[in-house]
Amino acid sequence: MKVVIPVAGIGTRLRPHTHTAPKALLHVAGKPLLWHILDSLKELDFEEITFVIGFLGDKIIDYVKKNYDFKSRFVEQEELLGLGHAINIAIDDDERDPVLAVLGDTIVEMNWDGIIGKDKNFLGVRQVEDPRRFGVAEVEGNRILKLWEKPQDPPSNLALVGVYYIKDTQLLKDSLREIIKSNIKTKNEYQVTDAFQVMLEKGAEMYTFEIEGWYDCGKSETLLETNRHLLDVCKECAPDIEGSVVIPPVFIDKSAKIKNSIIGPYASIAAGVTIKNSIVRDSIISVDAIVVNGLLTGSLIGDHAEVQGHFERLNVGDSSQIGY
């Protein structure tokens, strides 16, 4: 089995942080988003992971090569033409092994045993209140009858949420090439949902499987929501900190320096952070940042950023200064 992880998106909704880092490397619950994704795959028997990279892709390459020893390949998506295009360039023309595609901006919780190694094509789904911004499946039981990409009048509330296990790899490749050659686009992008629909029309059988937990990290508010969830289930907490109060759940790196402060609940404090005379809750403070005399809630503070004397929600990019 080959794994494909598209991480080429520029992360517009996570600016200013994605001006200097790919969104897959933004921290959530003390680790980069990509760490959480790869951690969920570590028990699987895969031959190779292909990362589809784009803007700041060199940072993805450096992170993977520094921290992992599995076989990896990096393919650059020079033009951001959609998820279908990304998966197409990741799959070799003569590929025969099953492919597992996992989006690089979401964290999923699921039982992989239910799909991996099975002689079927599976698309991960989850019931959502408003499926109009997703691919949507019409089903009979768990067999997929038809697929729509971002329909205005959805036939169901079963949204495709970015986990796809495809055994008919050559048919997927042919279907992706067909939608690209025919210029079949939705919202000006080649969508993998449209290629799956072509597969259905060519006689492929496709089935849904329910994603137990699905956590979007594509914008600031959902990144913080995911941070809260992961801290709730995280076994790690924090080292003992003299002279400060820690309100779980939190993640505090052992190298962080905290003095006369209240941390938590739902705060993630990365390596090298310094916090003095402050209250930090429901926030993500990234590597080597400094917070002094502040009250932060619902905030994202980037690497090497410095914040002093602010009592508000902040969204501060890397190496920025507020209040100095």
Question: What average pLDDT does the structure give for the chain?
Answer: 91
Q: Does domain 239-322 have CATH number 2.160.10.10?
A: yes
Condensed to tens digits (0 to 9), the pLDDT of residues 95-144 reads 889 999 999 988 888 888 888 888 899 999 988 888 888 889 988 888 99
Q: Does domain 2-216 have CATH number 3.30.450.20?
A: no
pTM across the whole model: 0.89
* Domain boundaries defined on the chain: 2-216, 239-322
Identify the segments of the chain with pLDDT beneath 50: none
pLDDT at 177: 94
SS (H, E, C) 153-214: CCCCCEEEEEEEEECCHHHHHHHHHHHHHCCCCECCECCHHHHHHHHHHCCCCEEEEECCEE
Condensed to tens digits (0 to 9), the pLDDT of residues 217-236 reads 888 888 999 999 999 987 66
- Round to whole Å and give the CA distance between 44 and 163: 14
